[in-house]
Amino acid sequence: MDRLAAMRGFVRIVERRSFSRAAADLGLSPAMATLLVQQLEAHLGVTLLHRTTRRVSPTLDGAAYYERCVGWLAELDDIEGAFSQRRRQPRGRLRVDLPGALGRALVIPALPDFCRRYPELELVVSSDDRPVDVIGEGIDCVLRSGPLLDEGLADQALGELVQVTCASPDYLAHQGRPDSLADLAQHQLVHYRSQRSGRRLPFEFRHEGELHCLDQPGRLTLSGADVYVGAALAGLGLIQAPRYHVAADLAAGRLCEVLPDQPPPDLPLAAVYPLASQTSPRVRAWVEWLQEVFAAVDPAWLRR
């Protein structure tokens, strides 16, 4: 038995919760992935995985063995990367997840540079604005805005997204332009529902050093950044969105900023990845590249 191959296979199976998906990641057949785990279990004398027709999950022994394996394998990769010239160039598959609007506007346009730098990396990018189980789905790194609530994950701050409150000129022509928070009682607020938490997010404003939350009822609640901005363009009411996402509409006069002296709070932005991946050359290359990308973003869009 190749114990190193068996350990790598076992770790990937736990992360992907599937023999077939893990085998595809590693370039193995499902039968070979199954055989490696069977050999590992026989060698250790314990059952590492619960297997059903629909799901694979670690036993108590398997969970403990997984934690030891990921740390040891990461350290091994780091050691090899420090002494082997060939291994200094990150290689293999890198799975990342991006918020749709943010990825399209700020990350994807810069991606050719990453591909040129790291030709031995196969990049698999998902971007569908849904909650992502980083470890369970075998994602190496996700880009997230807002509070970070995930335990067992590490993060690298990339800055804070500047937000604005805005509406269409037609809406403001009919409803009037609000001059204070009290004026908002006469306005329609288009609410955004977080797909991560499932809750409707309140409107927030900074005024004289204090944060004011306004959870005013509204007739429209949306999920998805593009349709949310689309609602404002259609004249349905006020929205709060990152400035980068509405910059073109503001510049073209399709949207107008309101209450600029009482802006929404900035939105933290971070690269998030499993703790065990902190020393991974693949993840480190991606995160360091993201830092470069966001360091070059217009400071009117991102504070650092």
Q: What is the pTM of this model?
A: 0.72
**Predicted confidence (pLDDT) per residue in 212-267, tens digit:** 998 888 889 998 889 999 999 999 999 999 999 999 999 999 999 999 999 999 99
pLDDT value of position 84: 58
Give, to the nearest 10 degrees, the angle between helix 3-16 and helix 30-44.
110
pLDDT value of position 121: 86
Q: For residue 118, what are its two tokens?
A: 């790291």
What domains, with CATH codes, occur in the chain?
3-85 (1.10.10.10), 90-154+276-296 (3.40.190.10), 163-257 (3.40.190.10)
pLDDT value of position 270: 94
pLDDT value of position 100: 84
pLDDT value of position 265: 95
pLDDT value of position 150: 66
Q: Which residues of the chain have pLDDT under 50?
A: none
pLDDT value of position 274: 85
pLDDT value of position 82: 55
- Alpha helix (H) residue ranges in the chain: 3-16, 19-26, 30-44, 60-83, 85-88, 100-102, 111-117, 169-175, 225-233, 243-252, 281-295
